[in-house]
Amino acid sequence: MERLKVNLCGIGIDNPVIPASGTFGFGYEFAQLYDINILGTFSFKGTTKDPRFGNHTPRIAECTAGMINAVGLQNPGVDSVIKDELPKLKEVFHKPVMANISGFSVDDYAYTCEKLDKQEQVGWLEVNISCPNVHGGGMSFGTDPASAAEVTRAVKAVTSKPVIIKLSPNVTDIAAIAKACEEAGADGISLINTLLGMRIDLKTKRPVIANKMGGFSGPAIFPVALRMVYQAANAVKIPVIGMGGISSAEDVIEMMLAGATAVQVGAANLVDPFACKKIIGDLPRVMDKYSIKNLKDIIGGALNG
């Protein structure tokens, strides 16, 4: 449907709805439930240079209007993703896919991005800078403008496809981080990643998850995500992908008014595997309700309000 189309970093997509990394696997599992080609695209499971087993279990904790996870970037490593996962994906998804990349050093990011940049199926590289910098004392790359810029420059030097930097919300000035990435050459930014949270089991009197703390996501974080998207979109001229607690077509519209060109749906996929399909199907109704002719016309509509 023409009225749902948007342009994301020079690539046209049929609608702005994108399942978020870590909530949609490599796509083919969901393809058994519905035709995933109705999606704008999706961001596949976070991929690192080497295979990772992930954190000890339990890794998931439920909480009011959300969940906490500490999976620990479990993935088979970039070589296996290229050899095994992408060929299976190609059988069921016939659009450019978004590759999500994590790393623990600048060299890690550059290595993995360079490899995935060469893959025909990959349309965008989404670089998750919420990972701990092993050479910088464990502080996340995404909490310091200089570190965020360093990763951005390193990845841009070895790639030709659009680079989207995924930002951490665990900072005091999201606009400064976004601007540093833009100035270093980023083609877009996505935000927010999960907030840091925890739960304690009243019976055992110990943290519920083995990692003690983890990423808090779900509808409860939507207002925080919306605020940060608004601030980032005000600070940069490159496209912004908004995410954090989106679970309805109304949420999509609100996030786009805050400045998002596209949105990612995360925790909702774990509650209802048909969440993205339902949101896309409901968008025309909500657009009609609020007299919106084309989605691309409302991007950033609230920025100057």
Q: Is 181 a catalytic residue?
A: no
Asked if 156 and 164 count as a contact pair (C-beta separation under 8 A), the reply is: no
Which three-class secondary structure state does DSSP give residue 185? coil
- Written as one letter, the residue type at 201 is D
Q: In sequence order, what are the beta bridge partners of 132?
A: 140
| Residue 190, phi then psi, degrees to nearest 5 | -130, 140
The DSSP output letter for 83 is: I
Which residues are within 8 A (CB) of 136 and not within 5 positions of it... i.e. 6 or more apart? 147
Which residues are within 8 A (CB) of 50 and not within 5 positions of it... i.e. 6 or more apart? 77
Tokens of 47: 């991929």
Asked if 36 and 61 count as a contact pair (C-beta separation under 8 A), the reply is: no
How many CB atoms neighbour CB 113 within 10 A? 29
Tokens of 145: 């403008």
Which residue among the candidates 9, 63, 113, 131 is catalytic per the annotation?
131
Residue numbers annotated as active site: 131
